[in-house]
């Protein structure tokens, strides 16, 4: 059985980190989770007990510069982990890599059965909120029991799983010098902008405003608008097409990233996922 580690870096994000620890701890074992806090002023929550926690000096700079600094650091930490592990998963704290429940296996068993040269990706699903049908998110309930719509997004089809040391691009969006490989039955659910109230609260965070996040956060609320206004496609019809499109087409500025050709495809997330996260 392959040994698998998961790592992330967070700052002022206990809401998402709790879910990240619960999920990956269940799937991989808490002793195989590596959490880096961006800033020595951070408080380590009690729910991180049993994981590997490191507090480091805050990465300086705005959104773009800070992202580059963080991913450079995490790529280095992932390389170190390969001394003890066969695979390393890197995600933001609001991203959960999930195997389709129809396959009847967990994440570790699924990844163990793959032959991975450098990296594999799950199909990206940017979870939104249908504001006319769905209320504020409740942290104590599974996220996907409260949110039923998402955008099939090439932005979140990320190179999250490494089989050997490599350099991630900012935000885990690609692996430099290597192609991406989207695996059937694997999905990356992104929850960072799935609740309008939380987006508005992030606008009020002085540290995020100072680092230039205001425009970034406003842009991300687009998924909520699309989920609230567009007709949702059937998952079984849209997902295979999106996987093929993202495999075949690339943005001209980054040939090792997937593309959806600017199409905003909204789907209804099947009920079989609702109790996983």
Domain count, the chain: 1
In this structure, what DSSP letter does residue 122 have?
Answer: E
Contacts of 115 (CB under 8 A, 6+ apart): none
Which CATH number characterizes residue 8's domain? 3.90.550
Question: What value does the CA radius of gyration of the chain take, rounded to a whole number of Å?
Answer: 18
155: left (phi over 0), alpha (psi -120 to 50) or beta: alpha
Query: Chain-centre distance of CA 176, in angstroms?
Result: 18
pLDDT of residue 221: 82
Ramachandran angles phi, psi of 260, nearest 5°: -110, 15
pLDDT of residue 183: 97
pLDDT of residue 12: 85
pLDDT of residue 39: 87
pLDDT of residue 59: 80
Distance, CA of 238 to CA of 37 (rounded, Å): 37
Contacts of 215 (CB under 8 A, 6+ apart): none
Domain that holds residue 79: 4-273
**E-state strands within the chain:** 4-10, 33-38, 52-56, 87-90, 95-99, 119-127, 149-152, 161-162, 182-190, 233-234, 265-268
Tens place of pLDDT for every residue, the chain, 277 residues?
A: 899 999 999 998 899 999 999 999 999 999 999 999 998 999 999 999 999 999 998 887 666 777 888 999 999 999 999 999 999 999 999 999 999 999 999 999 999 999 999 999 999 999 999 999 999 999 999 999 999 999 999 999 999 999 999 999 999 999 999 999 999 999 999 999 899 988 877 766 665 555 555 565 666 689 999 999 999 999 999 999 999 999 999 887 778 899 999 899 999 999 999 999 9
Planar angle of CA 168, 171, 173, nearest 5 degrees: 65
Cα dihedral 105, 138, 269, 162 sign:
negative
Q: Are 166 and 178 in contact (CB under 8 A)?
A: yes
Planar angle of CA 179, 185, 191, nearest 5 degrees: 85
In this structure, what DSSP letter does residue 82 have?
Answer: T
pLDDT of residue 254: 78
**E-state strands within 100-204:** 119-127, 149-152, 161-162, 182-190
pLDDT of residue 62: 65
pLDDT of residue 205: 61
pLDDT of residue 77: 97
The CB-side HSE value for 144 (13 A sphere, CA atoms) comes to 21
Query: Chain-centre distance of CA 8, in angstroms?
Result: 10
pLDDT of residue 106: 97
End-to-end CA distance of the chain: 24
């Amino acid at each position: 059985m392959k040994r698998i580690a998961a790592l992330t870096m967070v700052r002022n994000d206990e809401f998402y980190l709790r879910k990240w620890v619960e999920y990956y701890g269940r799937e991989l074992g808490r002793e195989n989770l590596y959490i880096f806090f961006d800033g020595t002023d951070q408080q380590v929550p009690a729910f991180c007990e049993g994981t590997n926690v490191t507090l480091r000096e805050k990465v300086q700079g705005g959104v773009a510069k800070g992202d580059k600094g963080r991913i450079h650091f995490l790529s280095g930490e992932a390389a170190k982990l390969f001394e003890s592990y066969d695979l390393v998963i890197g995600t933001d704290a609001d991203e959960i890599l999930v195997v389709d429940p129809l396959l009847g296996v967990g994440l570790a068993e699924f990844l163990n059965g793959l032959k991975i040269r450098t990296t594999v990706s799950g199909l990206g699903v940017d979870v939104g909120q249908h504001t006319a049908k769905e209320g504020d998110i409740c942290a104590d309930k599974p996220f996907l029991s409260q949110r039923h719509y998402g955008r099939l997004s090439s932005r979140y089809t990320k190179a999250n799983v490494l089989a050997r040391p490599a350099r991630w691009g900012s935000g885990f969006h690609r692996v430099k010098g290597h192609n991406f490989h989207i695996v059937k039955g694997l999905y990356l659910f992104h929850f960072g902008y799935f609740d309008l109230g939380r987006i508005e609260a992030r606008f009020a965070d002085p540290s995020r405003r100072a680092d230039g996040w205001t425009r970034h956060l406003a842009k991300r609320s687009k998924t909520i608008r699309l989920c609230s206004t567009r007709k949702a496609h059937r998952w079984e019809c849209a997902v295979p097409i999106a996987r093929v499109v993202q495999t075949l087409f690339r943005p001209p500025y980054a040939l090792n990233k997937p593309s959806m050709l600017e199409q905003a495809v909204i789907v209804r997330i099947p009920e079989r996922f609702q109790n996983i996260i």
